[in-house]
């Protein structure tokens, strides 16, 4: 089943219903299907065969997102290229993926000009606008293909997307996602979260990542996707109220901005059924606030290799039967999803007893086909017959999954293992802290000293000694930071994850 199925299914429910909306202008399902078909024909005319790789470099945009379904209709493989990446990283991804075609927005002319001459495999450039000396214009490209028969094909090995892992793990790898992976992901979404009536989904986060794949079950349900071309928290709140948005997704850093926005409490959010959060750990203190001020929060945990739905926590699970917040669950990532098997394994691949910490490992049809042209990394990630996430965690007595750290981020201080996520939660409980990252730095006495880099709430000041004492009261002196750094912003990847490698390099240049 290709990605085109999700669009086609929605169109079968009502071809005249709004499908993609930007700035108040909607494109119907019928119109979106017709454009996707035209893209498929144009790709075939350009020489793209089933299994060929096609990149899309664009901010959130209806035409660019429709091209995803056209790529799939032609049997080609969608390669999302994040425009927030550095030019070198995007060039590396396009080369790694063997992309023959790139569809891009005019806003990225300079970026394409830097990287295209270095990519001899990239033979076709399509500009979402008028053409220029380098690329064919989108409508000219489509127009040449209008009289061709419809191009419907299946990918030869069921791989429908290649997704880069770059940002926090060094050299990027290409995650091969199959149609089955995304079918399972979509099924879990529809099984695990509330869907009453035809959904309206607001996409502020990049459609190249989680916000994009969450659209697939929305479209299969005949829902409307309201697209935001650029992040704007005030505009986000306006659109939730105006369009009666039922579902949306934001990473924690943007949720913190929503909570700090002056118009939050005067905005009508009563239409929301499911406000997903994920992609990074969220402060339990801020989550409690969000439950009170925003409403039906819903967690998801996954990674590119097992998209989105390793574990889930519905809005109802955030509260007890009497309606009070179930604080004990808020630090968890929810329960393992219905179609996924999760185990906590030690270094020998043996399951540890319930409640003990180890690596979170996954089995099931959610897990990727492997890394593109990288059998060594594929074998390493699938040792002992499980997919290894690289996250350290445990399962509690209720079966909820707790993520305590990335394996590489654990701090060993004075002979004790300190998990940065636990320290970050304690630091984030302080009213002055907006965001936080905890790392270990070399220390002659302790081996590593726990170091917290914090971003303050606007208009606040911080006494470092007072913050250290605050944390000690909560988690003890061993785990409490011995060094506090206040930065105006934390460095982040293109999808908003804190770059701890950059922090270490800044504070300890020898880390390079």
264 exposure class (CB count in 10 Å sphere: 0-12, 13-18, 19+): middle
C-beta of residue 198 within 8 angstroms of C-beta of residue 223: yes
**pLDDT tens for each residue of 477-506:** 888 999 999 999 998 876 667 888 889 889
Does residue 249 form part of some domain? no
Closest to 269 measured CA to CA, from 298, 299, 248: 248
Task: Please count the other Cβ atoms lying within 10 Å of the Cβ belonging to residue 21.
Answer: 19
User: How many folded domains does the chain comprise?
Assistant: 2
Of 124, 158, 177, the residue that ends a domain is 177
Cβ-count burial 178-216 (b if 16+ within 10 Å, e if not): bbebbbbbbbbbeebbebeebbbbbbbbbbbbbbbbbbb
Of 144, 161, 177, the residue that ends a domain is 177
**pLDDT tens for each residue of 100-149:** 999 999 999 999 999 999 999 999 999 999 989 899 999 999 985 555 55
The owner of tokens 């986060």 is 205
pLDDT at position 8: 96
Does residue 8 form part of some domain? no
Q: How many angstroms separate the CA atoms of 123 and 46, rounded?
A: 9
Domain that holds residue 465: 410-511
Q: How many angstroms separate the CA atoms of 93 and 55, rounded?
A: 10
Largest CA distance in the chain: 75
**Mean pLDDT for the chain?**
91
Please report which confidence band the pLDDT of residue 464 belongs to, taking 50, 70 and 90 as the band edges: very high
Of 162, 177, 192, the residue that ends a domain is 177
Please report which confidence band the pLDDT of residue 418 belongs to, taking 50, 70 and 90 as the band edges: confident
C-beta of residue 424 within 8 angstroms of C-beta of residue 461: no
**pLDDT tens for each residue of 171-217:** 779 999 999 999 999 999 999 999 999 999 999 988 877 788 999 99
Whether the predicted pLDDT of 168 surpasses 50 = no
Higher pLDDT, 446 or 468: 468
pLDDT at position 152: 61
Residues 6+ apart with CB under 8 A from 164: 80, 81, 82, 89, 93, 96, 97, 172, 173, 174, 175, 304
Whether the predicted pLDDT of 511 surpasses 80 = no
Higher pLDDT, 280 or 428: 428
Whether the predicted pLDDT of 417 surpasses 90 = no
CATH number at 100 reads 3.40.50.980
Sign of the four-CA dihedral 504, 505, 509, 512: positive
Whether the predicted pLDDT of 391 surpasses 80 = yes
CATH number at 490 reads 3.30.300.30
**pLDDT tens for each residue of 238-284:** 999 999 999 999 988 889 899 999 999 999 999 999 999 987 778 88
pLDDT at position 166: 57
Does residue 56 form part of some domain? yes
- In percent, the amount of the chain with pLDDT more than 90 equals 73
Bridge pairing between strands 483-486 and 447-456? parallel
Does residue 1 form part of some domain? no
Does residue 308 form part of some domain? no
Does residue 161 form part of some domain? yes
C-beta of residue 65 within 8 angstroms of C-beta of residue 80: no
Does residue 102 form part of some domain? yes
Closest to 285 measured CA to CA, from 399, 433, 406, 172: 433
C-beta of residue 112 within 8 angstroms of C-beta of residue 135: yes
Q: Which two tokens stand for residue 28?
A: 């119907």
Closest to 58 measured CA to CA, from 50, 67, 49, 46: 67
C-beta of residue 206 within 8 angstroms of C-beta of residue 60: yes
- In percent, the amount of the chain with pLDDT more than 70 equals 95
Q: How many angstroms separate the CA atoms of 132 and 129, rounded?
A: 9
Q: Which two tokens stand for residue 154?
A: 């299946």
Whether the predicted pLDDT of 169 surpasses 50 = no
DSSP label at residue 410: -
pLDDT at position 148: 58
The owner of tokens 């089995």 is 363
Q: Averaged over 399-414, what is the pLDDT?
A: 83
Residue 249 three-state SS: strand
Does residue 414 form part of some domain? yes
Q: Averaged over 284-313, what is the pLDDT?
A: 94
Whether the predicted pLDDT of 167 surpasses 50 = no
């Amino acid at each position: 089943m290709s990605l085109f199925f999700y669009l086609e299914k929605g169109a079968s429910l009502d071809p005249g219903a709004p499908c993609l909306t930007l700035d108040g202008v909607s494109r119907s399902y019928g119109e979106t299907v017709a454009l996707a078909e035209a893209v498929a024909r144009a790709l075939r005319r350009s020489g793209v065969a089933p299994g060929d790789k096609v990149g899309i470099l664009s901010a959130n945009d209806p035409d660019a997102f429709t091209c995803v379904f056209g790529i799939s209709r032609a049997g080609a493989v969608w390669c999302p290229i994040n425009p927030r990446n550095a030019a070198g990283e995007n060039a590396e991804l396009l080369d790694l993926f063997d992309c023959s075609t790139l569809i891009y927005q005019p806003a990225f002319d300079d970026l394409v000009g830097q990287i295209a001459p270095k990519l001899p495999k990239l033979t076709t450039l399509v500009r979402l606008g008028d053409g220029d000396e380098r690329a064919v214009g989108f409508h000219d490209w489509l127009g040449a293909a209008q009289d061709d028969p419809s191009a419907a094909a299946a990918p030869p090995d069921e791989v429908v997307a290649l997704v880069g892992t770059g940002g926090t793990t060094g050299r990027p790898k290409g995650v091969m996602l199959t149609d089955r992976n995304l079918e399972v992901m979509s099924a879990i979404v529809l099984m695990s979260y509330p869907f009453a009536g035809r959904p309206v989904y607001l996409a502020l986060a990049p459609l190249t990542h989680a916000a994009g794949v969450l659209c697939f079950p929305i479209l299969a349900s005949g829902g409307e996707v309201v697209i935001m071309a650029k992040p704007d928290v005030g505009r986000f709140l306006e659109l939730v109220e105006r369009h009666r948005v039922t579902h949306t997704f934001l990473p924690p850093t943007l949720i913190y901005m929503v909570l700090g926005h002056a118009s939050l409490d005067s905005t009508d959010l009563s239409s929301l059924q499911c406000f997903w959060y994920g992609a990074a750990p969220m402060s339990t203190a801020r989550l409690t606030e969000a439950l009170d001020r925003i409403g039906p929060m819903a967690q998801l945990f996954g990674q590119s290799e097992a998209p989105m739905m390793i574990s889930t926590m519905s809005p109802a699970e955030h509260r007890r039967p009497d309606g009070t917040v179930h604080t004990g669950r808020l630090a968890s990532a929810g329960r393992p999803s219905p179609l996924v098997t999760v185990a906590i394994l030690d270094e020998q691949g043996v399951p540890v007893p319930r409640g003990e910490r180890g690596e979170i490992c996954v089995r099931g049809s959610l897990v990727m086909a492997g890394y593109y042209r990288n059998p060594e990394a594929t074998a390493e990630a699938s040792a002992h017959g499980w997919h290894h996430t690289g996250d350290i965690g445990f399962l509690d007595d209720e079966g909820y999954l707790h993520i305590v750290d990335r394996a590489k981020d654990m701090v060993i201080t004075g002979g004790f293992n300190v998990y940065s996520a636990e320290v970050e939660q304690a630091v984030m409980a302080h009213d002055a802290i907006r965001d936080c990252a905890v790392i270990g730095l070399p220390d002659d006495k302790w081996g590593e000293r726990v170091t917290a880099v914090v971003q303050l709430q606007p208009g606040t000041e911080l006494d470092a000694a007072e913050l250290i004492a605050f944390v000690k009261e909560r988690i003890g002196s061993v785990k409490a930071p011995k060094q506090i750094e206040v930065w105006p912003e934390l460095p982040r990847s293109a999808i908003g994850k804190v770059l701890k490698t950059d922090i270490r390099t800044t504070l300890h240049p020898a880390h390079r």
